[in-house]
Amino acid sequence: MNLSVEYHVFIHKEVRDVSEFERLLAECRGAVERFVYYKTPTKADGEDVLQEVLLAAFTRFDALRDRSSFKSWLLRIAANKCNDFYRARAKRDEISLDALSDAELVQSADGIAERDAVLETLGSLGERDREMLTLYYLRDTPQKGIADRLGIPVGTVKSRLFAAKRSFMEKYPKPPKPKGETSIIKTKKLPEILPDYTITRSDAPPFAVKCEELLGWFIVPKLGEKLNWAAYDMPERKITEYVEMEVTGRAVVHGIEGVSITASQAVYNDDEWRVKNGGGRSFVAQLTDTHVRFLAESHMRGDVRLYHTFLDGDTFLPNWGVGEDNCGKAINLAPDATSGRYTVEILGKTYDTVCVVDDEDYNSGHYSEQYLDANGRTVLWRKFVRDGAITRFNKPWSELLPRNEKRQINGKTYVHYYDCITDYIL
């Protein structure tokens, strides 16, 4: 594919910019082309998408401050353009949802998240079931409208919807049951029920804090670090997930140095503990003087271990990429980066903390409050979910969790979902 078209369009740009863009593109063009051709159904489609990728990258090139991240930045553009291609096709074909996502149930950098598992399950259904569920749930078409559209009686629509929902639930991802109890259960230190706590706003000014923890995972990526943490669903306050984490050694990903981290996970569901992600997820993370970030993540799917690195745009960046150009989470927080100073009392101890709020910056549809002490360690992490965010039950969160605390933030309603504590406070 020749870039002359793009360059003639943008001939007004400085020659220096063009030369630098060409040099960086030459180093990773093969990877981007392979990515796009793999994601698109035909070579002609791939060429069209590539043209859009290169045009978009060239026009936005001046905004890329960290030129060393050019490859991952370009792959992210490519992933977005591929998704745009399939969305346009889905809109044109009305029903088709194929290839929109290869996502799975994941736990992202900002905590537990359900990412596109609905679309993945829909894609595995037969055409008729997929059509019924898409029209009814994703396009909000009433049963009478579906009947008119398909030329069938409303009674037939109801029976087909019932069968389609049953097929969907049979295929929707569920955590596998372990063959036996794992060591993670035997060594569990945190309480079964979240202890009562109080949060009191202080009149004292907030303080600066240095927080080196990985976002949503609470461990500091330094050699010798270990940490256990747990999640508790509201309003029962009962433990639903337990994680043991440990930094196991040094690691290098695509030439960038970091440390390797293991995360042994178990979830409590249907009155029993079950291994999550085959019992073990692993990371490579990097801590610098200014930021902390994920470089790679891997977990088990069945008997296969999957690996994702910061160069895997569509499978890594939406869940693990943090900050502009994946620069990571800033660790040095000035007082004005917090929402105030608070006294947190829990387990008979009192902590002087500042609260760091995430209002959908890292995770769309979610709001969180992280209470950090002067050591930069999490004392309490509270997670809320936006009421309008999609759930697998096709109900707003306020109906699913009617007893839970609700917050009004910027005109949106958020429902208290779960809390996390770590063994740091024991």
What is the Cα–Cα distance from 343 to 178, expressed in whole angstroms? 41
pLDDT per position as a tens digit, 363-415 = 677 889 999 999 999 999 999 988 876 555 667 888 888 899 998 888 889 99
Asked if 399 and 391 count as a contact pair (C-beta separation under 8 A), the reply is no
Q: Does domain 105-171 have CATH number 1.10.10.10?
A: yes
For residue 304, pLDDT over 60 is answered with yes
For residue 183, pLDDT over 60 is answered with no
pLDDT at 105: 34
pLDDT per position as a tens digit, 197-214 = 999 999 999 999 999 999
For residue 181, pLDDT over 60 is answered with no
Average the pLDDT over 270-289 and give the result: 78
Domain with CATH 1.10.10.10 in the chain: 105-171
For the CA atoms of 306, 311, 312, 315, the dihedral, rounded to the nearest 10 degrees, stands at 90
For residue 178, pLDDT over 50 is answered with no
Number of H helices, E strands in the chain: 11, 18
pLDDT per position as a tens digit, 71-82 = 888 988 988 888
Side chain identity, residue 79: A
For 4-93, give the CATH class: mainly alpha
Q: For residue 179, give the DSSP letter.
A: S
For residues 356 and 312, the model is more confident at 356
Expressed in percent and rounded to 5, the helix, strand and coil fractions of the chain are: 35, 35, 30
301 pLDDT tier (thresholds 50, 70, 90): confident
Quote the tokens at residue 265: 């996970």
Asked if 218 and 244 count as a contact pair (C-beta separation under 8 A), the reply is no
pLDDT at 221: 97
Task: Please tell me which of 29-33, 128-132, 242-246 the model is most confident about, judged by mean pLDDT.
Answer: 242-246
Quote the tokens at residue 6: 């793009």
Q: Where are the beta strands (DSSP E) in 270-362?
A: 272-287, 291-301, 304-309, 329-330, 332-333, 341-346, 349-359
For residue 247, pLDDT over 90 is answered with yes
Q: Compute the Cα dihedral for 146, 151, 154, 155 and give only its sign.
A: negative
Distance of CA 172 to the CA centre of its chain: 19
Asked if 287 and 221 count as a contact pair (C-beta separation under 8 A), the reply is yes
pLDDT at 381: 96
When mean pLDDT is compared across 34-48, 318-332, 357-371, 410-424, the lowest value belongs to 34-48
pLDDT at 179: 43
Asked if 105 and 340 count as a contact pair (C-beta separation under 8 A), the reply is no
pLDDT above 70 coverage of the chain, percent: 78
Asked if 295 and 289 count as a contact pair (C-beta separation under 8 A), the reply is no
| 15-39 vs 70-93: helix crossing angle, rounded to 10 | 50
For residues 350 and 92, the model is more confident at 350
For residue 251, pLDDT over 90 is answered with yes
pLDDT at 2: 42
Distance of CA 93 to the CA centre of its chain: 29
When mean pLDDT is compared across 50-54, 350-354, 377-381, the lowest value belongs to 50-54
What is the Cα–Cα distance from 138 to 81, expressed in whole angstroms? 22
Side chain identity, residue 258: G
For residue 290, pLDDT over 60 is answered with yes
Task: Please tell me which of 28-42, 162-176, 325-339, 388-402 the model is most confident about, judged by mean pLDDT.
Answer: 325-339
Asked if 136 and 159 count as a contact pair (C-beta separation under 8 A), the reply is no
Q: Which residue has the tokens 């337990």?
A: 242
What is the Cα–Cα distance from 418 to 413, expressed in whole angstroms? 16
CA distances, 423 to each of 188, 250, 369, 378 (Å):
10, 24, 18, 10
Asked if 367 and 339 count as a contact pair (C-beta separation under 8 A), the reply is no
The phi, psi pair for 56, rounded to 5°, reads -65, -45
For residue 38, pLDDT over 80 is answered with no
Quote the tokens at residue 178: 């372990």
Domain with CATH 1.10.1740.10 in the chain: 4-93
Q: Tell me the H-state helices in 301-407.
A: 313-320, 397-400
pLDDT at 274: 75
For residue 422, pLDDT over 60 is answered with yes
What is the Cα–Cα distance from 51 to 44, expressed in whole angstroms? 11
What is the Cα–Cα distance from 179 to 173, expressed in whole angstroms? 18
